[in-house]
A and B are shown apart, each in its own frame.
Chain A
Amino acid sequence: MASLNVNGRVVEIDAHPDTPLLWALREQAGLTGTKYGCGIAQCGACTVHIDGEPVRACSVTLGSLNANQKVVTIEGLSPDVSHPIQKAWLQLDVPQCGYCQSGMIMAAAALLAKKPKPTDADIDEAMTNICRCGTYNRVRAGIKLAAGI
């Protein structure tokens, strides 16, 4: 049994310590907004924040975390789709199939937290998530809209 701090509350997770955070979130905590895409930290569909840092949850084990580390998932980004990234995404109709967008939004939110006015180069560096529908043009526009640039 491991204790995790997820979206501001402590949850008890009954899973093997080798279980990736991704699967503990999806299967034990019931938070399915964080997606499985590759399992090898390539695609970014499972991006969550750990103490504000964007992290690929498929490649962090449950056993490596403690209850003092704050995990935030897409479900905890805002209570009502009010984060500036979410609002910009809504305004520009960024998602197509949407499967990668939880991770995309979490990566973009982490970028803005660190760099409120990111350059194109900052966006290129921070946004390494894969989107097969090809929403990249709107992801970039959405980040700029949210940043007011």
Chain B
Amino acid sequence: MADNAVLSRRSLLKGSAAAVGAFTLGFSIPFTEAQAQGATPEVNAWVVIHPDDRIVVRIARSEMGQGTLTGLAQLVAEELEADWSKVSWEYPTPGENLRRNRVWRNFATGGSRGIRDSHQYVREGGAAARIMLVQAAAKEWGVPEGECRAAKSVITHTPTGRTVTYGKVAAAAAKLDVPKEVKLKPASEWTIAGKSVKRLDTVDKLNGKQVYGADIRLPGMLNAAIKACPVFGGTLASFDAAKVTGMPGVKKVVQVDRRTVAVIADHWWQAKTALDALPITWDNGPHASVSSETIAATLREGLDAEQAFEGNKAGDAKGAIASAAKRVEATYSYPFQNHACMEPMNATALWTPEKCEVWCPTQNGESALAAAIEASGHPAAKCDVYKVHLGGGFGRRGRSDYVTQAVLIAKQMPGAPVKLLWSREEDMLQGTYHPITMARLVGGLDKDGNLTGLHMRISGQSILSGVNPQGLQNGRDPFVFQGLNPGGQEGPFGYGIPNLLIDHAMRNPHVPPGFWRGVNLNQNAIYVECFMDELAHAAGVDPLEFRRRMMKNTPRHLAVLEAVAKGIGWGSPSAPGTAKGLAQIMGFGSYVAAAAEVSVSNAGEIKVHRIVAATNPGHVVNPDQVAAQVEGSFVYGLSAAFHQECTVKNGRIVEENFDTYPAMRINEMPKVESILVPSGDFWGGVGEPTIAVAAPAVLNAIFAATGKRVRSLPLKNADLRRA
């Protein structure tokens, strides 16, 4: 219920953003007024310059490890002509954004959109500030603006050689009119953007000083531990607070909402100890008998269902398959998975009759603010959210359920800040899961081994149905077709097949779905790229050559595939006992491919020896950070492929911690050889797309090594022992 309210508010916010228009320099408050608000010497909303020349760039998106804050600061600094060594950063609050007519626009950080969605307006912010600084200097000197140039935070009057630093003219610049139009530098002239500068946020992560949400400490702060009904759809029937109220440190046992109870104590360990001792009775609700098996049966039914939403269609796929020389069919399945951020969900809230303040790690500051407003009962003007760095996000922290809970708890302790921290177990049981799907693929080959028809039926869960049903398009969830679309940023299908049908039978189990790093591209890349490999083998054609034949009109997809093929040495003999596999896909605005070399022992143990990845994200803002994202994406993707599965029993998730839900560790992880092939003519994302090609490249290599085709993930369930 609360979530729907949050979403409707978020939709409202989105609507107002659209109304602002495509090109506005967002400086709605007169600078004098902004200056009067505090001592912050801001030139404009994006750029603060102190008298001693220190520059603070305002970052609206959230940093969760992906490097977006450094990249965005590079883009602003580039146009500002800043001295990079003087640049630091700060987060504006979502409340300030509302009060200033959304001057920083969108705070949402997901879908690998941090840079690709905001590069234009943040660069314009930097350029506008530079123009104003130059104008201020020219005015002071009484010289034409055109005779002055800016570089490395210094303005020079070229004819006289006279100079002044940004810090000296910032206050005067802030009083000038905002330029109506600004011209941006071409990427070929970049000196800060496009370079592998060091991250701005590393040092405090090396000495324990970085404050994450879990580390927040406020005067008089209390701590809360929480349990919601582990069966989705169930409620809290009763609890016996008297049994734990005398335990050390315990202040209060509170019902949070219909399905949730929390213990508030001086310290979190005390709260958790008391919560574990608290007698709780759950009403497990209507889904208490659902299991992984019943869910699988529902999805299997969808594979043959008459009704399905179309995602991509050309010619007559079913007819072409019926008349094909050879028919190939395979069914794949992919499990629920939890994001398992290293830092469990948490938020700290202070509620008084006058105001509500929240400190939290969030991927969406404005959604967190909307949640705080809704739960607090206060008007927007009396609420704010202070963002802190995230100990991982991966999509989970785009939801604000934990913010709502923190405020509802704090409301029962007026005047005392309360930090709510989920246990790992709570985090595993109350996830919003990578959606469960199956796919049946049927292909028709002609006598020369060409694919003449393909039908791909996806059956399973829709994220939008669970997260934002208003976003469905006549019931259809466009996210389901990521990487399989006829065109667009979210994945044009890479293969030209004369007769094609990709459709989706929506089957929504009661387990809540969510955006999980890589979203639907992950499952789709496995289904398509492994089946392409199956078709190639059925046709007796080399898997790279088989794909090439269908990629004449998708040269960018092909280019990254060729790059990894070359990198892994495709076509040349593999080291004894090893074999190679390939995969490619397009999504999040970028083209990606991977090649893997693996071996499988007689006992069935898989070892990945090499991984080669190629990425074309168009523009690259920081090559070293793109490489870091690609390296990390393989760990995330291969952790999922090898180990991770959330199973369902009696309506709830079975796996509660890393002992039963393992993640890859260093001993399993080979070096990732990352090849960047930026074409420089578009802006794609890099935080997610490569995850999708990790698993299919390895799965195809496993087939090449063993002749065994694994079609059901994770790999831990597959028996690869040699007979």
Contacts and interface: CB of A to CB of B under 8 A. Distances in A.
Contacts of B669: 134, 136-137
Nearest to A22: B269
A97 B208 contact: no
Contacts of B631: 134-138
Interface in A15-30: 15-16, 18-20, 23, 26-28, 30
B268 A132 contact: no
Interface stretch (B23-31, B585-593, B658-666): B658-666
Given A30-B217, A96-B65, A97-B391, A86 B207 contact: yes
Nearest to B611: A137
A74 B207 contact: yes
Contacts of B391: 35, 97-99
Contacts of A90: 198, 202-203, 206
A35 B344 CA distance: 10
A89 B635 CA distance: 19
Given A81-B207, A96-B628, A130-B665, A23 B268 contact: yes
A134 B342 contact: no
A57 B341 CA distance: 19
Contacts of B316: none
B267 A134 contact: no
A98 B208 contact: no
A40 B659 contact: yes
Nearest to A120: B667
Interface in B244-299: 248, 267-270, 273
B658 A38 contact: yes
B632 A31 contact: no
B580 interface: no
Contact of A132 (B204, B273, B636): B636
B663 A130 contact: yes
B206 A89 contact: yes
A125 B440 CA distance: 41
Contacts of A15: 267, 269
Nearest to A87: B206
A97 B635 contact: no
Contacts of A45: 342
A47 interface: no
Contacts of B212: 35, 99
Contacts of A19: 269
B443 to A, nearest CB: 34
Contacts of B205: 95, 98, 101
Contacts of B214: 32, 35-36
Contacts of B568: none
Contact of A42 (B67, B267, B659): B659
A138 B65 CA distance: 14
A97 B666 contact: no
Interface in A106-149: 123-125, 127-140
Interface in B317-354: 340-344
B640 to A, nearest CB: 11
Given A102-B208, A132-B342, A23 B635 contact: no
Interface in B369-424: 389-394, 421, 423-424
A20 B67 CA distance: 33
Contacts of B650: none
A38 to B, nearest CB: 5
B237 interface: no
B206 A81 contact: yes
Given A77-B207, A134-B631, A134-B636, A93 B202 contact: yes
A73 B207 CA distance: 9
A62 B473 CA distance: 57
B203 A81 contact: yes
Contacts of A32: 208, 211, 214-215, 217
A100 B342 CA distance: 7
B162 interface: no
A124 B666 contact: yes
B658 A138 contact: no
Contacts of A95: 65, 199, 202, 205-206
A6 interface: no
A109 to B, nearest CB: 11
Given A38-B658, A97-B342, A75 B392 contact: no
Nearest to B637: A134
B671 A137 contact: yes
Given A23-B269, A129-B665, A39 B423 contact: yes
Contacts of A39: 423-424, 657
Contacts of B248: 16
A77 B210 CA distance: 15
A43 interface: yes
A94 to B, nearest CB: 8
Nearest to A75: B208
11 contacts: A18-B273, A27-B268, A32-B215, A34-B208, A37-B424, A39-B424, A40-B658, A97-B390, A105-B206, A128-B666, A137-B669
Given A37-B344, A45-B342, A128-B666, 6 more contacts: A36-B214, A37-B658, A90-B203, A90-B206, A97-B64, A98-B210
Interface of A: 15-16, 18-20, 23, 26-28, 30-40, 42-43, 45, 73-75, 77-78, 81, 86, 89-90, 93-102, 105, 123-125, 127-140
